[in-house]
Amino acid sequence: MRTPHYEQLSLFIDGAWLDAGNRDTAPVINPANGAILGRVPLATAADLDLALTTARTAFDTWRHTVPAERSRILRQGATLMRERTEHIATLMTLEEGKPLAESRDEVLRAAEYFEWFAEEARRIDGRVVPSNRPGVQQLVKRQAIGPVAAFTPWNFPAITPARKLSAALAAGCSVILKPGEESPATALALARCLDDAGLPKGVLQVVFGVPDMVSARLIASPVIRKVAFTGSVPVGRLLSERAAAGVKPITLELGGHGPVLVFDDADIEAAAVGGAANRFRGTGQICISSTRFLVQRGVYDQFVERFVAATGALVIGDGMASQTQVGPLANPRQLAKMEALVADAVEQGATVLAGGKRIDRPGYFFEPTVLANVPMTARIMHEEPFGPIAVLLPFDTLADGLAEANRLPYALSAYAFTTDARTALDVGDGLEAGMIGINQYRIVATELPFGGMKESGHGSEGGAEGISHYLTNKFISQA
């Protein structure tokens, strides 16, 4: 296996790629072996203030750039992302840990969002509304809302920035992006594609820093008119409060605790084998992951056997190795959290059917873990694990299954497997989730709105819906 080159990390402010200089830095660590890949510069207050002034000026240019030109630049950015897939995917696997094939797929899907919103940029139309007063003309316009502060996490370092940037830039907004400090090079590489595609100076800026300091300063600034965040529920709540203080809209993509309902009449093989792949993809660090597998009692034993076998067959290792299916966890916090969740469940009587412990090798590896007989009082029945732990539990009736699926304040993704049309309709209607997969686990697509309900957040990214948060309505009534 070759050791590829990792990028020099920088801030991207006012059109300049700024090295650490005298700034504080944080190490970026390869989670597969603990090696330091580089150091990410942390923005100072002065850096953020410059970014804010620049975002304000750049907004005035970009919002008046004609849609066809905005569209052309976004499309060209996407083309460069496609051309640079191998390079960007390598950076992603080195800093985040996911298998290289998944990183490649993520880069291509990120490019697809830019292509999608490049088209949507050309369709920001308005309305002429008939007036009840003779001679009065009423025009409803949709305009770019203003400079955006966007915060994205480490787990999907290409797709989470892409969903926000593509829509905001298409709408005519300028953006200050703060990606996760643990996987910074991927977002910088996307920004480089947009810069090389001719995005005017200052329309996109990328900063890293102490997250709390950065979000407090950016959100409090009168320059920022819109906030977008992907991450955990507690941080989402905090940023909501900050946005509310300035009466700014916020889009939130927060955590999940995806339930899967498997009915007696289901294709058990598809539900179990696909379920193990889905649960452990990204080492479980995916907000739409399936976590609780609720299996109707008649097929429970059969499901457990197939699920545990499929889990045991997964190949764990460094994401740079071609055979790897499950990489390391992204950081030591995640490792400690998995250990604590399993210990708590076992203490309360849970049975470990597979895995259950960290793997004794360098890096942050944890065994894909399957738990059964987990009491309702266990932490994992309430908290998003955001890691490689699956919980299996039986249910009896459709009503029982739906009640358990909808029990938590999370409502992001949900899945169901059944061959009965009536049951499929009932679960589609009854599941509280923003995204539902029936007889499949693959639920995300560029053309569909991505987002949750309840404490999983509000607002949709992607699809025809995804641009609306970056636009505001204005009417002009002319006598």
Say whether residue 366 binds ligand NAD (CB under 6 A). Answer: no
Q: Is 155 helix (H, G, I), strand (E, B) or coil?
A: coil
Number of residues that bind ligand NAD (CB under 6 A): 22
Residue 193: active-site member? no
Say whether residue 379 binds ligand NAD (CB under 6 A). Answer: no
Q: Based on CB atoms, which residue is closest to ligand NAD, 59 or 386?
A: 386
Residue 287: active-site member? yes
Range in contact with ligand NAD (rule: CB under 6 A) among 23-31, 108-116, 235-243, 261-269 = 235-243
Nearest distance from C-beta of residue 179 to ligand NAD, angstroms = 7
Judged by CB under 6 A, the residue of 307, 386, 410, 441 near ligand NAD is 386
Tell me whether residue 203 is exposed, middle or buried, using C-beta atoms within 10 angstroms of its C-beta: 0 to 12, 13 to 18, 19 or more.
buried
CA torsion 43-47-49-54 (nearest 10°) is -120
Range in contact with ligand NAD (rule: CB under 6 A) among 121-129, 131-139, 226-234, 459-467 = 226-234
Nearest distance from C-beta of residue 231 to ligand NAD, angstroms = 3
Q: Is 383 helix (H, G, I), strand (E, B) or coil?
A: coil
Range in contact with ligand NAD (rule: CB under 6 A) among 227-235, 342-350, 416-424, 431-439 = 227-235
258, 365 contact by CB (below 8 A): no
The β-bridge partners of 352 are: 371
Q: What is the DSSP string of 171-193?
A: HT--EEEE--TTSHHHHHHHHHH
Say whether residue 254 binds ligand NAD (CB under 6 A). Answer: yes
Judged by CB under 6 A, the residue of 215, 291, 311, 423 near ligand NAD is 215
Catalytic residue of the set 96, 253, 455, 461: 253
Q: Based on CB atoms, which residue is closest to ligand NAD, 93 or 215?
A: 215
Nearest distance from C-beta of residue 214 to ligand NAD, angstroms = 6
Given phi > 0 = left and psi -120 to 50 = alpha, else beta, which region is 356?
A: left
Nearest distance from C-beta of residue 232 to ligand NAD, angstroms = 3
Angle at 39 between CA 36 and CA 45, to 5 degrees: 150
* 478: DSSP letter: E
Judged by CB under 6 A, the residue of 185, 266, 287, 391 near ligand NAD is 287
Q: Based on CB atoms, which residue is closest to ligand NAD, 153 or 401?
A: 153
Binding residues among 326-355 for ligand NAD as defined by CB under 6 A: 333
CA torsion 279-281-283-289 (nearest 10°) is -40
Q: Based on CB atoms, which residue is closest to ligand NAD, 112 or 384?
A: 384
453, 434 contact by CB (below 8 A): yes
172, 65 contact by CB (below 8 A): yes
Best CA proximity match to 232, nearest among 452, 466, 34, 388: 452
Q: Is 307 helix (H, G, I), strand (E, B) or coil?
A: helix
Nearest distance from C-beta of residue 175 to ligand NAD, angstroms = 15
Q: Based on CB atoms, which residue is closest to ligand NAD, 326 or 471?
A: 326
Nearest distance from C-beta of residue 395 to ligand NAD, angstroms = 25
Binding residues among 116-175 for ligand NAD as defined by CB under 6 A: 151, 153-155
Judged by CB under 6 A, the residue of 31, 157, 231, 327 near ligand NAD is 231
Query: φ, ψ for residue 177 (rounded to 5)?
Result: -105, 130
370, 354 contact by CB (below 8 A): yes
N-term to C-term CA, the chain: 72
Best CA proximity match to 319, nearest among 90, 110, 156: 90
Q: Based on CB atoms, which residue is closest to ligand NAD, 230 or 311?
A: 230
Nearest distance from C-beta of residue 302 to ligand NAD, angstroms = 31
CA distance 395 to 403: 10
Amino acid at residue number 403? A
| 81, 354, 370, 374 from 347: Cα distances, Å | 48, 16, 15, 10
Range in contact with ligand NAD (rule: CB under 6 A) among 168-176, 210-218, 300-308, 433-441 = 210-218
Nearest distance from C-beta of residue 151 to ligand NAD, angstroms = 5
Q: Based on CB atoms, which residue is closest to ligand NAD, 151 or 364?
A: 151
Catalytic residue of the set 193, 287, 432, 461: 287
Q: Based on CB atoms, which residue is closest to ligand NAD, 303 or 366?
A: 366
Best CA proximity match to 180, nearest among 156, 159, 149: 156
- Positions marked catalytic: 253, 287
| Chain positions contacting ligand NAD, by CB under 6 A | 151, 153-155, 180-181, 211-212, 215, 230-232, 235, 238-239, 253-255, 287, 333, 384, 386
